[in-house]
Each structure stands twice: as structure tokens, then as C-alpha cells.
Structure 1
Amino acid sequence: MNKEETLNIQIQNRLVEQLTVSNRELKLINAFTQDLQSTLNTSEVIDLLADNFKAYFNHFWCEVYLMDDDKKRLIRINPDSEMIKNHDVICYGKGLIGEVAKSGVAEIKTHNAFMEGELKPFFKSEIAVPLVHNGKDVVGVIYSRHIDFDFFNQNQIKTILTITSIAASKVLQTENLAKIENYQTQLEEYVHIVSHDLKSPLRSINALISWIKEDNKDSLNFETIKNFELIDATLFQMDNLITNTLKYSKIGYDVYEEDDEVDLNAVIKDIEKTLQIDEHISFSVPQQLPVIQGNRTKFMQIFQNLIENAIKYCDKSKGLILLTYTVEAEYYTFSLQDNGVGIQERYFDKIFQIFQTLNDQKDSSGVGLSIVKKLINNYGGKIWLKSQVDFGTTFFFTLRKT
């Protein structure tokens, strides 16, 4: 075998080795990305990142630090080994971990160090890789060390950076979702307390009015009775407003809510029974409505609020409400048409704002359509309308198939 053949074989072997390494790294990144989809919180993301880091280096020690909210410190999330005796909190910009958090650039350091009372080196190389979101925002740092000088090398950093950047995005997502859930819980608790505190005096006033009317039923004049009726109507309106505000606050983000298969045919039948639509109003529904994924109660709120509105604003001797739908690639598009009073175009946006009404009806709280819009938005859909005064309104809205 001549020198040229030997060189060709060496080149081929080197290429095979590089391809093998690249293939292994791609498999690691793909597997990590797939496994990451099932993580629900930051702790699970960090555990998965640490496991993949250890598997890649075939090494048992690594720790992950995340930035605190003030971005002044890094908090150790997984104290992994007594052999890595780092602090639980590291100042931003201090030491290898703090410097990497500040620069956003991975570093490998090699040196001698001795444990107190030991004659042999404890570790000779260490690595710190930032968790960077969108190429600029450092979320944290993953760190490890080893007793060999050349255990970590620059060729490995590219793969680890890919994994840590994916992890950084997931960490931010899970932390944001946790904050949203916490905020939503606090908001619901607050609204419950406020609703109770607001309803208590209303109940007291209502009871007092009832006693006065009962004790003086034979001596009240027509004007006084009318005034009491006005007070009753106002109390009812205020109670209705508080109740609907509470309903609105309960429409959360439900990021972990389990979806069910909801048969809209059954939903519409239940709404018809609940609303008891007057005989002078014709309500037309397709013979077969779709079955979609989601929460049955919320779908019922969407359809019931829209149908209830159509009934409420029907001013014709022969009312008409027509529900139809079309099938798109990713959505169902529904329409609910009526021949009621209609809405002026300048109010098309206003009607979806909370506590906004276009009339003085006592039973209208101005919350119904805002609830509908919020629910549809939470399902990734949108709602809009067409209307002509005195001829009626058609609401259109989309819901995802899955």
C-alpha cells in the first residue's frame, strides 16, 4: 500500500468518525427536543437538561443555576453532588459561573486545585455553558468539572449550546405559565372576596325592603310601591353585575386543562332547554354539528351568550335565529344570524368591552359578549360581526378543530 492509499484511508476514517459523532449529537438534540415537550414545569426541564448533559459527557456531575428575577444572582437549582462544593447562590459576574452568565459565552478552564488536606488534585478542568434565549437573554448556566485536564473541549460546546438554548426557551415558557396560573388564582380569590363583600349589603337592603313592605302592605301608596319596585330592580341589576364579574374573572388561561370531546349537538339542545325560546322566534340549527376538543362548560357559555343576546334583542313579531358553520383546514367557522334590532358599525368594538351596553335594559350587565370573546381568544379563535340597524346581526367566530 503506497502513501497515497494510506492517506485516503486515513481521510475516510476521519470522515466516518466525524459523521458518527455528528449523528450521535443530532440524535441527542432530537431526543432532548422531543422529551422536552412533555415537561410541565421548570424543575422537570432542569432535570432533563442535566440528564442529557451527563449522558453526552458520560459524566455524573453537573449543576444548573438560574437567574433570579432581579438578574443580580444565580440560584442553584439541582445541588447534584457533594463533590461539587459550590455555593447555592452566586453573584452575577463573579467567578466562572457568574462571568459566563454576564458574557453569555461558554467557557472551559483548566488548572490545578487541591482540596484542603489532600495531596492530589481534586479537579483540573471545568466547564460553564449559558442557557441563552433568542441568542441574547441569559436564563441560567449549566456547570461541571472533572479531574482530567482535557475532559472538556471546544468541539463539544456547540452541541451543548444548542441543547441549553432549547432548554432556556422552555424554562421561560414554564415560568411564565406558572406566574400566569398564580396570578389567575390570586385574581379569582380577590374577586370572590370582593363579590361576597359587595353582595352582603345588597342582601341586607333587600331583606330590609321586604320587611318594610310586609309590615306596611296596607298603608303604602302607589308612588311608594313604585319606588320600592325601582329599588328591587336596581338591587337585581347590581347583583347580576357582581355575578357576571365573578364569571368573567373565572375565565382563566387553563394551561394544563384536559380537553374532552364535546358534542355541540348536545350542547345546543341543553341551551334550548335552558333558555326556553319563545314560540314567535324560529331557531334553526344544522342537522349535524361537529364534535370538537375543549371544555364543555366554556363552549356552552359561548353559544348560550350569543343565542341569549339574539333572543333579547329580537323586536320582530316573527323572530329568526340561524346557526350555521363551515369547515376550514384548521378551524370551524360558526355564524349566528338574527333579524333583531341590529348594531351600528361604530359600536362593533365597544360591545366586546366589559361592562359596555348599548341600551338601558335592567338585565344587561355588559359582560356577556366580553366573556364570549375572552373564551374564543383562549381557544385560539377570533370573533367578528356584520350588522344592519333594524335588519339584524350576524356574529362569526372560529374554533380550532384540535
Structure 2
Amino acid sequence: MSPLTLPLDYHTMDTDAFVEWLQQNKLKRGYIVCREGEVRCSNPLLKDFAQFISNSPDYTRHEGIFFEIEPETRALFVAAIHRSKRGAGQGGTRLKRYDSVKSIFDDVMRLSKGMTEKNAFAQIWWGGGKSVIHPAVHPKSIPADMRTKIFSRFGRFIASLKGLYVCAEDMNTTPEDMRLIHANNRFCTCVPTEIGGSSNPSKFTAKGVFRGLLAGVHFLQKIKDPDRVALHGIHLLVQGAGNVGFHLIELAVQAGAQVTVFDNYPPTRDKLRQHFPKEQVKVIDNGDDLYKIPADVFSPNAIGATLNDETIPQLQVKIIAGAANNQLLDAERHAEMIHQRGILYIPDFVINRMGIVNCADEQYGYLPEEIERKLAEVYPSTYDLLEKANADNISPQFKAIELAEKLSQIEHPIWKHRGAKIINHLIETHWEDASL
């Protein structure tokens, strides 16, 4: 069979093989969009792929999924816009190698929907979007010159979307990467402070998670006092000690909590052992053991989907509260499973929102004191959510999604649903045929 007629199994297909197939068929760019309830694709060769995307449980009528191959480095760029009624789709740019076509597109769809919920719940004027860069080599092995080329070309890819999506720092990316993107388009946040940006949002993300976690602890203790930050006698299980997780541990230790932590990266575990007092922070070397330890709080701060059929039954905690996006493999079923176990689940997008809040108004001038005021809202809004969910005897996840869904349908007060107009423009001008 020729490459043009080769049947593809996207569920198992290797991502690099997908890149090769696109190149063989001279498909440098492509899109899957939802217009008036109908799923459309940019090329007849992508018809089966569009069907595959629309059949995914993570597909929820996403407004647009755009992708492009960078020819020299063979990197795959993907940007997904879930809903843009409140404004341009905004969310982080993730640098990660994915094992399969299914994993990369499921991830970007799930994450972009999560950003719709997060931005709406935070009541900022952004829609939900996310982007991923799948490099040809492991992110930690990318040479400096190749990294520069990847992020510069990615910046032009985002520029081609005409403001439909706005970038931010995320997994394996830095403010310097954002500088490279910003040098090639105007639709980027988290750029370095010296050029007027908000830089790395990790500390504010961690502070927001801590305030939400504190609200959860107080809710179970029947206390409502945001100024009471002591966590003496509270034991936290922390999964992941990257930028956010590490700062969260610092805050927990300062508050007097006991912490047991696991991180996949051995040098990070070494850093934890050197930085924190061993009588207060215990570092373990087997991540599977973390789920089984009796404690007060389980805090997922690494990859998503770690709360699933296998791990939830192992948990011996009262609260789940962490920074990781999409912690639940199945947002509905696993939220209910946790609720039935009597564990208080605090939705990720409710308490990890300070990362996006930190950069939301960056283009209008960054004011740290304004971010601090927004941070002060995390505790009362989380506590209020827990009270409402408790009154209805439902998981806080369901109550939070209900609120976020209503807010996400409100159109921007000035620009209305501009994202839909931009997508129509990209289709009409044959975006997929243009070159960098």
C-alpha cells in the first residue's frame, strides 16, 4: 500500500511514526475543528483521524485542534482550544515526548478543557487552551541550538493562529523558552521580568495550592480562619517535587506539617534530602508506596491521571489537594469513587489557578500586589465550594465543574466570542497550506 492509503491505528500508533506519516503525505499542517456541532478536518487524508479524535472520551466539542510539523527538528506542535467564549484560549506550553498519538492528543484535549474550567472558575477573561511540543529526542537531551530553533519555530506556529491561543510556561519549559516564543509572536505570557513579564509562576501556584489545602484541613476541623496557618500534627503525602511541589513542601514545613515525598527524578530526591530537615521531611524511593501510607492529605503535584481504579482504593487519607492538572483519570467516575470513600477531594483547577492568575493580566502591566490580593481569595472560595458541595452531598468536583461550566459560557464583555471568528478566518484562508 502507498502511504496515502495505509490504514492507521491511532490508538497504538507511535507519535514519531505519525510525524513520519504526515511528512510522507506532505501534510505539514492540519486541524480538527467543531463548527456548528460538526467535526471538520483540513484534509480528506485526516478524515479517519478526525473520527478518532471525536470518538475520544476526552473530546468535548473542542473548538479547534491545530498541529504542525517542524521539518528540520521533526518536532510536532499541537495547540488545542477547548472554548474561547471568555477570551483567547490560554494555557501552558508543555515540552514532552509522548509514546503514542492517542496519548498526545488525549493529553492536550484534557488539559485544554481543564484550562476552560480553571480560567472560568478564577473569573479571568481567558478561554481554555493548551499546547504541547513533542520533540524528536528527550527534552533533557535537546541541544541548545535545537531548543532555540524549536521554540522560535513554535512561536511562529502560534503566531499563525492569529491570537486564538496564548502560551504560558508549563512542564519542561522556562521563561527563557517563553522569551524565544515571544520574540516570534505577541501571544505569550510568563516571559522574563526584565522584558515586562511575570516569569515563572510556580511560587504563586504553590501558594494557591497551600491556601486551598489549608481550607480543606480547616473544613474538616470545622474551623474557618484563613490567618491560622499552622499545620502541626498534619501529615502530607507529596507526589512530585518539581517547581511547584518543592515550594509547596517549603510552605508545609514552615507551617509545621510532617511531609512524606516522592519524586521520579533521583537528583530531585537528593536535593530534598539535603534541603529539608529529615525529622520533618521523609523522602521515599518507591512511588507506589506513597499511596499506601496513612496520612491526612495526599497531594499530587506531578503528572495527571494518577488517581484511578488502581490507586484510589489504596489511599488512607482524609483529603486530596494538589497542583497537578487532571489528577483524575476519569473526572466523573473517579470523583464519585473518592467521594464514596469519604475522602474530601479539592478539584485541581480550584486551587492551582494562581499560576494562570499570575500571568493573566501580564500584557496590561504586572502588579505583584494585585496577585497577592487574588491569592487571598483562594481560601474563602475553596471553603465556600466545600460548604456548597457538602450541603448537596456531592463531590466538590461536581459542584466546581457546575460553577465553571456556567461561567465559561459567558462571552467576553468587549470581544464576545472572537475565537470562533478567528477559526472561521483560518479555515477560509486555508491556514493548513501556508508555510512558516
Shorter-chain TM-score tier? under 0.3
Larger Rg: 1
Query: What TM-score does the superposition give when structure 2 sets the normalisation length?
Result: 0.22
Query: What TM-score does the superposition give when structure 1 sets the normalisation length?
Result: 0.23
Greater strand fraction, Structure 1 or Structure 2: 1
Report which structure shows greater RCO (CA 8 Å, sep ≥6): 2
